[in-house]
Amino acid sequence: MSDLEQLIRTVPDFPTKGIQFRDITPLLADASAFGEATERMTAPWRGRGVTVVCAIESRGFIFGGVVAHHLGAALVPIRKAGKLPYATQRLEYTLEYSSDALEIHTDALKQGQRVLLIDDVLATGGTASAAAGLVEMLGGIVTGVQVLIELAGLKGRKLLEGREVRSLITYEGD
């Protein structure tokens, strides 16, 4: 178990029975660990030409701003439908038992910009895949996907095949 992983609290049966929720708030509350996590999330992408970090709502915002700063890149939020104030591009995606939608401002990216997607957790991959689709709709190039935690048992990487995906902490059984 890594030092960072020790700061992830598992909350059983949240938000519903049978779910093992991985709570990142203890990690965020430790300034040193938070700094280490954001540095480790940044390191693989240095020198790779990333010009924009797209942070996925909502906990992706926590890490995305810091990583963008470390990379000298712009920060673009990708939000749930109806949360952005200007003209948006929208992409609906399917979850296990429902659907959802993400949006990005239509003027958020320029053709050919190299984008790093950031989120806290990769689970089924639907959200990250939809975010990548939005970036590509606007002409951006998805350089990779960086998350703090991957729930490998949910096989989210399958929806991101062909993309570089990195995680700092992996839980196999979730």
Residues designated as active site: 59, 96
* E strands present in 81-132: 88-94, 99-105, 114-122
What's the order of all strands across the beta sheet hosting 88-94? 88-94, 99-105, 74-80, 52-56, 114-122, 141-151, 165-171
Rounded to 10 deg, the angle between the 31-42 and 59-71 helix axes is 60
Gap between the Cα atoms of 5 and 3, Å rounded: 5
Q: Nearest Cα to 135, choosing from 50, 31, 37?
A: 50
